[in-house]
Structure 1
Amino acid sequence: MNAFLYIIVLLAWGSSWFGISFQLDYDVAPQASIVWRFLLASLMLFIWCFARGLKLSFPWREHINWLLLGFFLFCINYICAYFGTIYLVSGLVCLIFSTLTLFTVLNGFVFFKKPVRLPILFGAIVGIAGLSIIFSNEISSAEWSLDSGIIKGFLWMLLATFFASIGMLLSGQMQARKIPVIQSNAFSMLYGSLILVTYISFSDLSFSFDTSYNYVVSLIYLSLVASVIGFGVYLKLVGNIGADKASYVNIFTPTIALLLSTLFEDYVWSWTGLIGVILIIFGNIIVLYAKPRSI
């Protein structure tokens, strides 16, 4: 069952790169696109809850938790990530965000008193090494100087990864208390969107929307597939196997995106790229077969 969930997340998030690339071609601020994405995803989840008669009345303490989850997982990490993409090429963005497993392990130990599972730490390092090999050309061609902005982008992406790992650990804690994932995502996405709206209103960004076919279709795809399905299944996986194991998905996801690019954009693989994929798969095996922690 967990392997099936894992594959769904890989396909949902690996294909989301295409949806995001469509949205960047229009005169809509990326932060505004994030708001539309998660507002629509939240609406879809609430409609599902109403249709299935799922409970929507919860104590105010849970709403505080969802506000925090929305801030970390559906707001601040995306703001930092978009700042990072201003300075970095896509390969470096993928590589830095792949450290999510490391952040999840370390933040789980520091802030949530979770034991460090060494096989997962080792597997994550192997996977990051594989991803580094795949994007070695982009890494070597980048201008690593203080004037180039690479350092700024690097720091922004590290912050994005740090905040995302906190959100995933929070979700794991909520599920341990038997808080349902669907309602949790519905409220958290709503609160994260409202925080982003507040941020945009106090910035110099324009809050706009594009009615073109490509923008609307990509928005629906990102809301339904990458957000409702992707985050729903992923956070369920977090509850099942732990945030540290589940976060390895973010190392594997760029490989799925490259495979899709091979089919639709004529991406050509090199021997170094294949070696990188082998390392990622090997790291994935180490992570997934790590012994469960005792509770």
Structure 2
Amino acid sequence: MSEPPPGQPPQISGQHNVSEHSLLHWRIAVPFVLTGVIWGSTWWVITDQIDGVPPSWSVAWRFLLATPAMFLVAKLMGKPLGLGTKGQLLALAIGIAQFCGNFNFVYRSELHLTSGIVAVLFTMLIVANATFGWLLLGQRITRNFVIGTVIALGGIALLLLHEAQLSPLGGNIGLGVALAVGGILSASIANVVQANETGRGLPMVSLLAWAMLYGTIADVGLAWFTAGPPELPVRASFWLGIGWLALAGSVVTFPLHYTLVRQIGAGRAAYNGIVVVIVAMILSTLFEDYRWTPLTGLGAVLALIGLVVALRARRS
């Protein structure tokens, strides 16, 4: 049997049982759901992080805490920290794209759009990941994946329509959307390139520790350049939020997510964005008096149906 393209598991003709690369396998399902639930909470937390604090400094504080924690995790797991020249260059690329570009785009986007709108827009990461995975890693996009994606995006459009009607947006809407798209592309590039041949040969937590370090250096430089020297916020809620975003939202979730990218492909891994949106909306229902309507109910159902169709699609 010929070797599969990079990042794809081998397929066995006639195999219909649950494989280790299926979402139905607990090793895939548990981190998939866990990352979705944790990241679903972060959109709500970020709104407090940019309240009176320059977005770039908020991002910098987050990763100034997360980076040493990730190195500690690598040390406790006994993973080597040496990456070699190619590994360091890969970590640099991931750090700039994911831990600087992505987060700075996202935080700034929430200055112009509501957190729910940005969370919904970010489900487009599904399409970006699948496209870059096809272009850069040779991961084929199946017909069922396309069908599932179209169904899910239809549901997302309904959720987006209701959110726009419920909460008229202030600020520069076009700029907010452009910034969100910048965040999506940055995150997608990082998702896909870490699953290349060099990345698959490196310990995940070690690669992420170095990537976070490079991203943090860039974050601090960007914050100092755009907002001047740091001013420490005094709000307890800000620092509690930083702790949650840095430790749960970064140190716990990124190793799980990037491992999923390697196991099931960048396109399907991005589908935890649907879980993220649903969790974010549940939190809005509980804490922000979000009102469900037939429109949002239909949107949520369509998104979940699309999720199931796409995730059950076998890859060639």
Same fold (TM over 0.5): yes
1:57 equivalent among 65, 74, 82: 82
1:263 equivalent among 277, 280, 286: 286
Deviation at 1:153, TM superposition (A): 2.2
Is the Cα contact below 8 Å between 1:14 and 1:254 reproduced in 2? Answer: yes
Could you say which residue in structure 1 is the equivalent of 2:265? 242
What do residues 205-240 of structure 1 show as CA deviations (whole Å, max 9, x unaligned)?
A: 442322432111111111111101121211111111
Is the Cα contact below 8 Å between 2:94 and 2:190 reproduced in 1? Answer: yes
Q: Secondary structure at the match of 1:284?
A: helix
Q: Secondary structure at the match of 1:114?
A: coil
How big is the alpha-carbon RMSD for the aligned residues of Structure 1 and Structure 2?
2.3
What do residues 27-65 of structure 1 show as CA deviations (whole Å, max 9, x unaligned)?
A: 321111111112211111111222333211221221111
Change (3 A) 1:129 1:223: same
1:227 aligns with 2:250: yes
2:57 equivalent among 29, 32, 45: 32
Could you say which residue in structure 2 is the equivalent of 1:150? 173
1:2 equivalent among 3, 28, 31: 28
Q: Percent identity?
A: 27
1:13 aligns with 2:36: no
Could you say which residue in structure 2 is the equivalent of 1:120? 145
Change (3 A) 1:82 1:260: closer
Change (3 A) 1:234 1:210: same
> For the residues of structure 1 that align with 2:183 and 2:59, how far apart are their CA atoms?
14
2:66 equivalent among 22, 29, 41: 41
Deviation at 1:72, TM superposition (A): 0.9
What do residues 65-95 of structure 1 show as CA deviations (whole Å, max 9, x unaligned)?
A: 1000011111112222233333323343223
Deviation at 1:17, TM superposition (A): 2.2
> For the residues of structure 2 that align with 1:289 and 1:45, how far apart are their CA atoms?
33
1:278 equivalent among 290, 301, 314: 301
| Structure 1 consecutive aligned stretches of length 4 or more whose deviation exceeds 4 Å | 140-144
Could you say which residue in structure 2 is the equivalent of 1:133? 158
Q: Secondary structure at the match of 2:120?
A: helix
Q: Which runs of 5+ in 2 are unaligned?
A: 1-26
Could you say which residue in structure 1 is the equivalent of 2:48? 22
The TM-score with structure 1 as length reference comes to 0.89
> For the residues of structure 2 that align with 1:292 and 1:80, how far apart are their CA atoms?
32
Is the Cα contact below 8 Å between 2:97 and 2:187 reproduced in 1? Answer: yes
The TM-score with structure 2 as length reference comes to 0.84
2:205 equivalent among 182, 188, 191: 182
AA at the equivalent of 1:18: W
Could you say which residue in structure 2 is the equivalent of 1:110? 135
Is the Cα contact below 8 Å between 1:29 and 1:205 reproduced in 2? Answer: no
Count of residues paired in the alignment: 290
AA at the equivalent of 1:290: A
> For the residues of structure 2 that align with 1:92 and 1:52, how far apart are their CA atoms?
38
Is the Cα contact below 8 Å between 1:28 and 1:207 reproduced in 2? Answer: no
Deviation at 1:11, TM superposition (A): 1.1
Q: Secondary structure at the match of 2:111?
A: helix
Is the Cα contact below 8 Å between 2:28 and 2:260 reproduced in 1? Answer: yes
> For the residues of structure 2 that align with 1:90 and 1:56, how far apart are their CA atoms?
36
Change (3 A) 1:82 1:266: closer
Deviation at 1:143, TM superposition (A): 8.1
1:214 aligns with 2:237: yes
Is the Cα contact below 8 Å between 2:109 and 2:177 reproduced in 1? Answer: yes
Q: Which runs of 5+ in 1 are unaligned?
A: none
Is the Cα contact below 8 Å between 1:176 and 1:239 reproduced in 2? Answer: no
